[in-house]
Amino acid sequence: MPPKYEYPPTEFDPKPRTQPGSRNYIGILLGLAAVVAIVDRLTKRFIVHRLPEGSAHTIIPGVLRITHVLNTGAAFSMFSDSASSAAVRHGLVLFSVVAIGIVLAMLWRVRHTLSLTSVALALILGGAIGNVYDRIRYHYVIDFIEVHIVHYHWPDFNVADSCIVIGACLLFIEIFRPQPQN
């Protein structure tokens, strides 16, 4: 087996790149994204088949309810009352597909490391795929988790949204985490 070495960093690629042929985690990362998308799909199907649209089931009074909401807009139902719902839907699908492509490219770049960054990107990818599937197939996203904290009401969301937010938080942590000195 040839010795492993790293290519020197450049101004466009500040992290050293591992020699081709070293451990490749892309299968694990894409598997994680697939698990997120599948769990999102299964939970949405469960809600659709068990809870009538517009209804809710209280889990923790004043804190957590399971609902059945159809979101035709973007995050937090932005643009859902737009006069041109088809244009909004097409724009959101296009944005999502571009975002999925960008995240896939980023995931490909970090495929040789299993890190906070690569796991975060896999979570974001799985969540984006889960929501874009709904937008393409149903023209809306199924949301079903409603949270209240004291007087604050968080807009309804789903597993895909949760994974996107968790992934973004992990990236945020990674950005501000002190880097080891060489």
Query: Which positions are annotated as active-site residues?
Result: 143, 161
Nearest residue to 47 (alpha-carbon basis) of 56, 34, 36: 56
Q: Is 21 left (phi over 0), alpha (psi -120 to 50) or beta?
A: left
Structure-block tokens of residue 95: 């944005």
Where does 73-115 have alpha helices with state H? 85-109
* SS3 state of residue 56: strand
> In degrees rounded to 5, what are phi and psi of residue 45?
-60, -40
